[in-house]
Amino acid sequence: MATDTATTLRKTVTGIDIAGYLVRDPQAAIAFYRDKLGIEPTEIDDQGRGAEFTLSDGTTFGVWNPPDDNAGGFVMFAVSNLQEAVQTYRSRGVGVSDITETPVCYMAFAQDPEGNGIILHQRKLNG
């Protein structure tokens, strides 16, 4: 039965869409990565909460100020069916938030036992 569980979980998470840091001062973080490391932001939040940097290999790194003003790290796991993933993880005792919709994606939030952020992420299909 453990093999069935592992197989189901492997089919749920399909990759990493973004890795990043939760920061207290998003403008300072954006300036550091842009001005010191030379990475141009590809998306800046219109409310000044953070930015994403898509690198030449297609990976994305982000810096964001969370509502609770904590700092730390997070990983955004790609899933093909967010509703199914949320149900699966809740049934396994993971405290997953309700689904949030943005103009480009759907997300649900959780934490690992150390308090690190986990974001389950499903991109919207274009067209």
Q: What is the pLDDT of residue 127?
A: 42
**Residue-range domain boundaries for the chain:** 2-123
Q: What's the topology of domain 2-123?
A: 2,3-Dihydroxybiphenyl 1,2-Dioxygenase; domain 1 (3.10.180)
Could you report the average pLDDT of every consecutive run of 10 residues in the chain (127 residues)?
54 84 90 88 92 88 83 84 93 94 93 82 79
SS3 of the chain: CHHHHHHHHHHHEEEEEEEEEECCCHHHHHHHHHHHCCCCCCEECCCCCEEEEECCCCCEEEEECCCCCCCEEEEEEEECCHHHHHHHHHHCCCCCCCCEECCCEEEEEEECCCCCEEEEEEECCCC
pLDDT for 41:
95
pLDDT given at position 6:
54
